[in-house]
Amino acid sequence: MTVISLKDVHKKYPLGKTEVHAVKGVSFDIESGDFISIAGPSGSGKSTILNMIGCIDTPSEGIVTINETNTSDLKDKEITNLRHDVLGFIFQNFNLIPVLNVFENIEFPMLLGKNPLPKAEREVWISQLMEEVGLGDWKTHKPNELSGGQRQRVAIARALVTKPQIVLADEPTANLDSETGSSIIELMKKMNNDYGTTFIFSTHDQTIVDIADHVIQLKDGKIVENRRR
Amino acid sequence: MNISKISMRNITRQKKRSFLLGGAIAFGVFIIITIGSFTAGMTETLKENFTSIMGGHIYILGTETLDSGRIVQVIGDTADLERAIDTVDDLVKEYHVRSQVRMGEIIFGSKSTTLQVSGIDWNKEQLLKDTLTIADGSLENIEKAGSLIIPEKVADKLGVIPGETVLIRMDTVTGQKNVGEFTVAAIVQEQDSFSFISAGYTEMGYLNDLIGLESDEYQYLNLHLKDIAQMDIVAEKLVTELEKTSLVDAGDDEDEDGEEDQRHGMMFGGGMTSASDEPWDGTKFSITNLNDIMEPVLQLVNILNIVSLALFVILMIITMVGLINTFRMVLIERTKEIGTMRAIGMHRGSVRSIFLLEALYLALFGAAGGIILSFATTIITGLIRFTADSALGLFLHSGRLQFITTPVSVLQVVFLLAVMTLIAVYLPAKKAAKLKVVDALRAQY
- The answer to whether B345 contacts A81, with C-beta atoms less than 8 Å apart, is yes
Instruction: Give the residue, A104 or B260, on which the prediction is more confident.
Output: A104
**Which of B9, B10, B437 lies nearest to residue A56, judging by beta carbons?**
B437
Q: What pLDDT does residue B279 have?
A: 75
Mutation to test the B interface, candidates A49, A55, A58, A99, most B Cβ within 10 Å: A99
Mean pLDDT over the full length of chain A:
90
Q: Is the pLDDT of residue A45 over 80?
A: yes
ipTM of the complex: 0.91
CA distance B363 to chain A (A): 20
Residues 86-105 of A with CB under 8 A from B: 88-89, 91, 93, 95, 97-100, 104
Of B20-24, B132-136, B397-401, which gets the smallest average pLDDT? B397-401
Residues of chain B with pLDDT > 70, as a percent, come to 89
Task: State the average pLDDT over residues B240-253.
Answer: 75
A104 contacts B344? CB cut-off 8 A? no
**CB atoms B343 and A56 under 8 Å:** yes
Contact B340 A77 (CB under 8 A): no
Mean pLDDT of B374-389: 85
Q: Which residues in chain A touch residue B339, judged by CB atoms under 8 angstroms apart? A: 56, 95
Neighboring chain B residues of A54 at a CB cutoff of 8 Å: 343
* pLDDT number for residue A167: 93
How many angstroms away from the CA of A226 is the closest CA of chain B?
26
- The answer to whether the CB of B150 falls within 8 A of the CB of B202 is no
Report the pLDDT value the prediction gives residue B402, as an integer from 0 to 100: 87
Q: Identify the three-state secondary structure at position B98.
A: strand
Partner B contacted by A20 (CB < 8 A): no
CA distance A229 to chain B (A): 31
pLDDT at residue number B19? 92
Per DSSP, chain B holds a count of helices (H) and strands (E) of: 13, 14
Residue of A nearest to B437 (CA): A56
In terms of CA atoms, which chain B residue is nearest residue A92?
B441
The model's pLDDT over B60-112, given as tens digits with 9 standing for 90+, comes to: 888 888 777 778 888 877 888 888 889 999 998 888 888 888 788 999 999 99
Question: Is the predicted pLDDT of residue B267 greater than 80, yes or no?
Answer: no
Name chain A contacts of B9, Cβ cutoff 8 Å: 99-100
| CA-to-CA separations, A184 to A108, A141, A190, A204, in angstroms, rounded | 21, 20, 10, 15
B344 and A112 within 8 Å at the Cβ level: the answer is yes
Three-state SS string over chain A comes to CEEEEEEEEEEEEEECCEEEEEEEEEEEEEECCCEEEEECCCCCCHHHHHHHHCCCCCCCEEEEEECCEEHHHCCHHHHHHHHHHHEEEECCCCCCCCCCCHHHHHHHHHHHCCCCCCHHHHHHHHHHHHHHCCCCCCCCCCHHHCCHHHHHHHHHHHHHCCCCCEEEEECCCCCCCHHHHHHHHHHHHHHHHHHCCEEEEEECCHHHHCCCCEEEEEECCEEEEEEEC
pLDDT, tens only, B164-195: 999 999 988 888 899 999 999 999 876 544 44
Give the whole-number percent of chain B exceeding pLDDT 90: 36
- A164 touches B at CB < 8 Å: no
Chain B residues closer than 8 Å to A81 by CB: 345
Residue B283 is given by DSSP the state P
For residue B421, the surrounding DSSP H or E stretch is helix B407-434
Q: What pLDDT, on the 0 to 100 scale, is given for residue B216? A: 79
Looking at residue B191, what is its pLDDT?
Answer: 56
B336 Cα to chain A: minimum distance (Å):
8
**B7 chain-A contacts, CB cut-off 8 A:** none
> Phi and psi dihedrals of A69, rounded to 5?
-105, 125
Q: Which domains are assigned to chain A?
A: 2-228 (3.40.50.300)
- Record: contact A100-B344, CB cut-off 8 A: no
pLDDT digits (tens, 9 = 90+) for A100-149: 999 999 999 998 888 888 889 999 999 998 998 888 899 999 999 999 98
Rounded to a whole number of angstroms, the distance from the CA of B442 to the nearest CA of chain A is 11
Lowest-confidence region among A90-99, B193-202, B204-213: B193-202
According to the model, what pLDDT value does residue A211 have?
Answer: 84
Angle at A170 between CA A165 and CA A173, to 5 degrees: 115
Distance CA B405, CA B249 (A): 38
CB B48 within 8 A of CB B346: no
**Is B441's CB within 8 Å of A95's CB?**
yes
Residue B394 burial by Cβ neighbours in a 10 Å radius (0-12, 13-18, 19+):
middle
The per-residue pLDDT of chain B, averaged, comes to 84
pLDDT score recorded for residue B392:
62
Chain B positions contacting chain A at CB under 8 Å are 1-2, 5-6, 9-10, 12-13, 336-337, 339-348, 350, 437-438, 441
Min Cα distance B348 → chain A (Å) is 8
CB pair distance less than 8 Å for B350 and A81: no
Count of CB pairs separated by less than 8 Å, A with B:
70
- Does A97 contact B343 at a Cβ distance shorter than 8 Å? no
Nearest to B200 by CA among B111, B132, B308, B115: B115
Q: To the nearest whole angstrom, how far is the Cα of A2 from the nearest Cα of chain B?
A: 23
How many Cα atoms are found within 13 Å in the side-chain-facing hemisphere of B155? 24
Kindly state the average pLDDT of the residues B288-305. Answer: 83
A77:B347 CB<8 A: yes
Do A89 and B342 count as a contact with CB atoms less than 8 A apart?
no
Does an H or E element contain B382, and which? Answer: helix B348-383
**pLDDT band with cut points at 50, 70 and 90 for residue B393:** low
Q: What's residue B168's pLDDT?
A: 94
Smallest Cα distance from A28 to chain B, Å = 22
Min Cα–Cα distance to chain A from B307, Å: 42
Residue B265's pLDDT is: 47
Closest-CA distance of chain B to residue A81, Å: 6
Identify the DSSP state of B158: H
Using only C-alpha atoms, chain A has a radius of gyration, in whole angstroms, of 17
Query: Is B273 a residue whose pLDDT tops 50?
Result: no
How many Å apart are CA B362 and CA A184, to the nearest integer? Answer: 40
d(CA B76, CA B64): 8
Rounded Cα–Cα distance for residues B199 and B154 (Å): 9
Interchain CB contact of A56 with B (< 8 Å): yes
Using 50, 70 and 90 to split pLDDT, how confident is the model at A36?
very high
For the stretch B110-123, pLDDT in tens is: 999 988 898 988 88
Mutate to test the interface with A, among B4, B9, B344 (most CBs of A within 10 A): B344
The beta-carbon neighbor of B2 closest among A57, A88, A111 is: A111
The pLDDT value recorded for residue B195 is 42
Predicted local distance difference test score (pLDDT) of residue B230: 87
pLDDT interval class at B270 (50, 70, 90): very low
pLDDT, tens digit, 9 for 90 and up, residues B114-153:
888 989 888 888 877 877 888 899 888 888 999 999 988 8
Residue A64 confidence class, pLDDT cut points 50, 70, 90: very high
Residue A77, chain B, CB below 8 Å: the answer is yes
Q: Which helix (H) or strand (E) covers residue B65, if one does?
A: strand B58-65
Name the residue among B337, B342, B343 with its Cβ closest to that of A97. Answer: B337
Q: Does A113 touch chain B (CB under 8 A)?
A: yes
Which positions in chain A touch B337 (Cβ < 8 Å)? 95, 97-98
Q: What residue type is assigned to position A87 of the chain? A: L
* Domain layout of chain B by residue ranges: 2-49+295-442, 56-290
User: What pLDDT is stored for residue B419 in this prediction?
Assistant: 94
Q: What is the least distance, in Å, from the CA of A16 to any CA of chain B? A: 16
Contact A109 B345 (CB under 8 A): yes
Q: What is the pLDDT of residue B408?
A: 93
